[in-house]
Amino acid sequence: MPENKIASHLTQNTSLASAIHSWEMYLADQGRSPNTIKAFLSDVRLLAGFLPEKTAIGKITTKDINRFVDWMEKEREVPSSPKTLARRITSVKSMFRWLHHYGVLVVDPAEKVAARSAISPLPIVLTPREYDEVLLAADRHRRAQKPDARPYALVYLLLTTGIKKSETLGVLLEHLELDLPDGPQVFIKYPTPANRYKERKLSLPLDWVPAFEEYAAQYQPVDRLFPWSPRRLEYLLEDIGNEAGLKKHLSFDMCRWTCALNDYRTGEEPDKIRQKLGVSKIQWRELFIKLKQLAGDK
């Protein structure tokens, strides 16, 4: 359904509850994940519950939304954490921005509501020594009496590309280009239009290719690069971390942050790191702050 068609029946006199229902249809049409839609709807329904019943969207003011934010932060029986508060404000601003964009509202009442940034704790990364120990532990499986290149192919891919768990699971064999003049690459693709901005081609280390070829000969994957469940691959990482003697839990997220930190420490341009990670400029603000803190920069 065309985006403007979803909002075409709405007016300033439409109730907030009805507008929320139309926004739900819009989010689904944009290919947002069920979990994202569920979180967004939960946030804006909280606003609907805070305002008088059947409040028309054209009657909602910036003052109303700011009172709602204050209530969530200070007066609600279970106050929102900084991270949850930031997300809820973002959800409300997103819905009203949509209503304004399609001409339902002449003025966006949420535009001047201050966004909040909740800086979460610093991520845990591998030290240079731990990085080497992890790769050595994975490589020992390649040299075992019954060779298994899967751990090394997975761990080395994560530590050098920084791709997320969902992206790893989505890599198909056809997304690998191993014979390019400029070196091997992997194409990170997304099925939904809303996530197309995250798509990118990433360089692969030359010495990853032999490990991949060994792995492919041993497991003979047909479609997906790693045709296992997320949990199975998480267990595999955990096992390698234990074999490497780590006191921390080796995870997809730890590999991603370690990759970004290594690139930053070797002098890679920040925007190139952002593009490599596939994050927006807004998301990058907080990530870059953390990256500099991890690197010991002031």
What is the rounded CA–CA span in Å between residue 177 and residue 204? 9
Are 177 and 57 within one domain?
Answer: no
Say if 8 falls within a structural domain: yes
Are 145 and 92 within one domain?
Answer: no
| Position with higher pLDDT, 73 vs 103 | 103
Asked whether 241 and 249 are in contact (CB, 8 A), the reply is yes
Are 38 and 94 within one domain?
Answer: yes
Phi and psi at 202, nearest 5°, equal -120, 140
User: Alpha helices, DSSP H only, in the chain?
Assistant: 3-7, 16-29, 34-50, 62-70, 82-101, 128-142, 150-161, 165-170, 208-219, 230-243, 252-265, 270-277, 281-294
Task: Note the pTM of the prediction, 2 decimals.
Answer: 0.66
What is the rounded CA–CA span in Å between residue 160 and residue 174? 20
At 2 the pLDDT is 47
Say if 207 falls within a structural domain: yes
Model confidence pLDDT, tens digit, residues 150-198: 999 999 999 999 999 999 999 999 999 999 999 999 999 998 887 888 8
Are 136 and 83 within one domain?
Answer: no
Radius of gyration in angstroms for the set of CA atoms belonging to the chain, rounded to a whole number: 23
Are 97 and 132 within one domain?
Answer: no
Split at pLDDT 50, 70, 90, the class of 118 is: low
Say if 133 falls within a structural domain: yes
Split at pLDDT 50, 70, 90, the class of 61 is: very high
Provide CB contacts within 8 A for 164, sequence distance 6+.
252, 253, 256, 278
Query: Residue 245's domain spans which residues?
Result: 128-294
Closest CA to 134 of 268, 249, 6: 249
Split at pLDDT 50, 70, 90, the class of 119 is: low
Are 30 and 157 within one domain?
Answer: no
DSSP per position, 78-111: SPPPHHHHHHHHHHHHHHHHHHHHTTS-SS-TTT
Say if 23 falls within a structural domain: yes
Are 169 and 261 within one domain?
Answer: yes
| Mean pLDDT of the chain, nearest integer | 92
Phi and psi at 9, nearest 5°, equal -90, -5
Are 54 and 141 within one domain?
Answer: no
Split at pLDDT 50, 70, 90, the class of 1 is: very low
Say if 178 falls within a structural domain: yes
Say if 254 falls within a structural domain: yes
Query: The CATH number of the domain where 81 resides is what?
Result: 1.10.150.130
Is the model's pLDDT at 298 over the cut of 70?
no
Provide CB contacts within 8 A for 93, sequence distance 6+.
110, 111, 113, 115
The total number of structural domains in the chain stands at: 2
Model confidence pLDDT, tens digit, residues 188-234: 999 888 788 889 999 999 999 999 999 999 999 999 999 999 999 99
